[in-house]
Amino acid sequence: MTTRYTEDHEWITVDGDTATVGITAYAAGQLGDVVFVELPEVGKTLSKGDEFAVVESVKAASEVYAPVDGEIVAINDDLEGEPAKVNEDPAGAGWFVKIKLSDAAQLDGLMDEAAYNAHTA
């Protein structure tokens, strides 16, 4: 599985036609201690760039944007009771949603890890 990144600090990992999306460790670090995550409903259709979640920390609130078009097929219910998972394991247990891809070609416009690391340097 390949992970891609957006300029807005979301990561996306694709397995078949389903993608898992979350925020990067860099974004989680910038936010500080996450105290609340608002996730969308399963079944919601997203267009690339749509706001789909809100993350609140002790410092600020931040929107999370869809890196691709698709339909939300799962949300990480664990974040409701344990929002700190976003800080503890942003690229693992702190994932936000799973999206059924509408157009896999959109992944080509996202950054690979090297480009993302250069973007945040």
Which residue from 78, 76, 67 is spatially nearest to 102, judged by alpha carbons? Answer: 67
> In the structure, what pLDDT confidence band is assigned to residue 1 with cuts at 50, 70 and 90?
confident
> In the structure, what pLDDT confidence band is assigned to residue 39 with cuts at 50, 70 and 90?
very high
Q: pTM for this one?
A: 0.95
Q: pLDDT tens across 5-15, in order?
A: 999 999 999 99
d(CA 71, CA 73): 6
Architecture in CATH for domain 3-102: Beta Barrel (2.40)
The separation between CA 77 and the C-alpha centre of its own chain, rounded to angstroms, equals 14
CB atoms within 10 A of CB 66: 27
* pLDDT reported for residue 2: 85
Q: Any idea where the domains of the chain sit in the sequence? A: 3-102
Q: pLDDT tens across 52-103, in order?
A: 999 999 988 999 999 999 999 999 999 999 999 999 999 999 999 999 999 9
